[in-house]
Amino acid sequence: MQKQDGANVAEKAAEKVDVSKLTGFIDKYSEMLIDFAISFVIALIVLRITLWVANAIVRFLGRAMERRNVEVTLKKFLLDIISAILKLICVIIFASMIGIETTSLIALLGAAGLAVGLALQGSLANFAGGILILFYRPFRAGDYIEAQGQSGTVEEIQIFNTVLKTPDNKRIFIPNGLLSNGSLVNYSAKDTRRVDFVVGISYDDSIAKAKQVINDVLDKDQRLLSDPARTVVVGRHGASSVDIFVRVWVKSEDYWDVHFEFLENIKLAFDDNDLSIPYPQQDVHIHQVASSD
């Protein structure tokens, strides 16, 4: 009987010990859970606030870029990059507030960025070139340019390439890295351009008459600008012709029409006025040597 009572007492004591351990375990982890819940709620509030601040910064920068007339493509790209960076910072702050170790995460992101940068070195050079082109704007869509041995109208400025359309309707893709680091001619940068001609006449023709005929042809073209004034002068004594240099100013969009029409009209006018446009020629002298026989 006493043994049985002792066993019951031992069982009750063991139950009390187990209950106390369970209660202590629940109390401990319930406090941790409550602390985590409070930290999580605070972190969510901070995340919401920081995201709002990030969006406000992006909107402010967008308005500032509009006032500075930043290229639309560059504006959108820069705002996307800034927005992504700010949001990543917000997420890192949120993670650190709920107890997640962020040092290793940042190191991992840095290593991944370095590896990607080394793997895409050429593409990054073109990417940087595209940013420089969009920022400094040496040319715009619709401009006629010449670069890297190619020429055409700029159809589109992409992040990695610039697309040209040639006069015969071909598309040329030039990497932006080459465009940003090489020489480039923009024929559409100015509103006006000078058209240069060289008109050759025979040494037997009258220079004064030839200049008068040239001026008469130019007077009939209303597209020529009076300021700067035209130039019609003898520029060179060639091997078979006297070369008259003709320089006139036109609007950029009229350049080629004026160029081609003048070449046709000056030939017709010279024919009507008995003026010749000589072609290269050589005089061959043959000396006869007497035979000794």
Rg over CA atoms, the chain: 41
> Are 176 and 247 members of one domain?
no
Q: What is the total count of domains within the chain? A: 3
Do residue 168 and residue 239 come from a single domain? no
Residue 123: inside a domain: no
What pLDDT is stored for residue 26 in this prediction?
Answer: 63
CATH number at residue 145: 2.30.30.60
Sign (positive or negative) of CA dihedral 179, 184, 185, 190? positive
Query: Residue 215: what pLDDT?
Result: 93
Q: 180 Cβ partners below 8 Å, 6+ apart?
A: 128, 129, 130, 132, 133
Q: Which two tokens stand for residue 201?
A: 């006449």
Can you give the pLDDT of all 293 residues of the chain as single tens digits?
544 555 555 555 555 545 555 565 566 667 667 777 777 888 888 888 888 988 999 899 888 888 877 766 667 777 877 888 888 888 888 877 777 766 766 666 666 666 655 554 556 777 778 878 877 788 888 889 998 888 899 988 877 888 899 988 999 999 888 888 888 999 888 889 999 999 999 888 899 999 999 999 999 989 999 888 999 999 999 888 899 999 999 998 899 899 999 999 999 999 999 888 887 666 676 777 655 55
Co-location of 154 and 214 in the same domain: no
Judge if 176 and 201 occupy the same domain: no
Contact 242, 207 (CB under 8 A): yes
Report if residue 24 sits inside a domain: yes
pLDDT computed for residue 209 by the predictor: 93
Q: Are residues 19 and 65 in the same domain?
A: yes
Q: Are residues 174 and 154 in the same domain?
A: yes
**Structural domain of residue 179, as residue ranges?**
138-186
Backbone angles phi, psi at 161, to 5 degrees: -135, 160
Same domain, 143 and 57: no
DSSP-assigned beta bridge partners for residue 237? 242
H helices of 68-158, in order, are 72-97, 103-119, 121-136
Claim to verify: residue 222 and residue 248 sit in the same structural domain = yes
Report yes or no on 132 lying in a domain. Answer: no
pLDDT at 196: 94
On whether residue 175 sits in a domain, the answer given is yes
pLDDT in the model for residue 290: 59
Segments in 230-285 forming alpha helices (H): 255-272
